[in-house]
Structure 1
């Protein structure tokens, strides 16, 4: 049974600095020559890019509902065979969601370190820490760490406020040269932060002398061997758009395509690149087309290649931002309207308010695929949905999935390993 030191990094809420602390912890251990693997709970495309930069290894999602307990266990077990340290960063608050990060930590025996943003807090820090430690007695609580601390005096005040039963793991200061920049969908991706490595190194320097920087206890990870996958995409060449406009991709999804027998190549619409030669199918993932709309509209080589691909009846699957790129126009939150490819009838408009967020699943000919949705835009289209997703907890109607000729598009970000046959059908152009 593989065993590896492991720690779950949680918090009382979003915005506490979990990603900064997890990245700093990974970098501190990596500088010591240790091999660090990081996982991110729940659906997230942005934080993993930063965590990958910090650790030097790909970051996968863990979620008891979307990924499933068996697959989560296999991912952790595989990591434990090669890593010297496993870190799992939570999302939102420790007990938020069904299932929550705490549920995942309990299921796999992960000790929990809680990060609290203490910049506007004094003795109440102790009350919050005690609540997190005691809320679920079955949780292994490793201790509490203070982020964005104003001074050494402030740190002593916070530590003194802790009950004896709650371990103080240390603190880092609240300096702007450590903080990570944010926008409407979350943190900036790693490629957009010019001084990211310097920021991570400064955070790691601050964290080095703390108790949090010591290796956590080892955890045993055991999993049944994964069943071999059928070669449903043997000989299929899948072209994947990948750049700052189309970057929301689960690494597990691309690995699945390869496991199913596909050849995967990437290209950049922002660089006006043509599709890879011989591409049988095309995947336009989500991202930030709204931030690059004028550039995308100017680049004719990529646009013509995508239009030719669709006109030839070859499969084209577009998720969220990829779907916006295929519409007639895209209006950003400032009211600026830009023409898009016009391959799907309709128009998209960005809002300053969240339009949809949460776990959803979609069921079709090949069964259920699980995933999530998170977007600030809405579309106006005459297309009728081919399928409609359902919310994970309420079973209420969720995101529509559209089929228009060879194009399949939806706001839903599917986690393809949850249903490999469904994923294969998308790139074969089969009925879904």
Structure 2
């Protein structure tokens, strides 16, 4: 797990590997930058901790992980901690206590820190104006933006822009390019193979190690591309109708490719497992794949090969994109009333009604036609860290080859499943853009 070191005598906190060497008695450690900032420390100008991944530990309580994902999705941009707590079935006091005990900060401070860190990266990497950076980062006003950036970084946004290093700027031939930082090691080949084998025709593709997909922002079409970047980041290029709130696009893309969790505790435990140990040693950077749209992914699971026909019939056409991208995925409201398989219509109707959230905490047995294995496949990519889709063909093949019994893998069976599935794949590109029966 990543820890950030803060020095009492200087008021500065650093990421691991920083060259500063303070006296041990002057150092405090924090799990997250937000916690160090809440304690009054500011980011080091040398190691720039805002530029590296600050994922949540995979062994954090499930409720904390769900709350974090809701915050990342923008629950506190206009909402309140009380509203977030109610959505999780908790009191505000209990939610704040969970955040304090496990993350060292409050939900509001966590959200504010993430917005500020994302804005700082945009100031470094992009040529967006200061005002564009403010609204792209989820701030409601320039005044709020200036106040928060000065509080977190002790400098105004215009001054921070002047400090950026020449190597930071990401030149983009159209669109906006940003880094998706991760904690090494990270296995992009395994991730791209998984996404490519389950790509929704017309909506997603993987070619030449680049994942591409269409997205809808308030009904307007956009395109995302994710590709390898450097030793500690992927590159995301976004072609969007507007930049307001792009922080949530970037965060969702990061969750989709599994850069948002610190899997080190689970990996360390798996190393001693007779089945998983050799797999982890061979590919330590395997992550659990997420999904851009949980509803889209769930429909792909329950509809199987019919999902392409649903897209062609009900999805909004987006011409001229290339790479096999032709449509937006149809909304739940459309499929809930369409001439579609009954299980798809039931799922869509319950999503529209708010009865199914697809956030990793649903009981999908309430949806007629969704089997236990379908539910596990959906859970795997929806944030349920203990989902295990035992009937996935690649996973089943791996278990037959490596050993029939599941080890003591709870509560991280999703990561165990990702390793088993990855063990049955060759290099990315062999089946890029294709489909597998297991989705």
Please report the TM-score for the alignment, with normalisation by the length of structure 2. Answer: 0.30
Q: Normalized per residue, which structure has more strand? A: 1
Please report the TM-score for the alignment, with normalisation by the length of structure 1. Answer: 0.31
- Does 1 or 2 have the higher relative contact order (CA < 8 Å, sep 6+)? 2
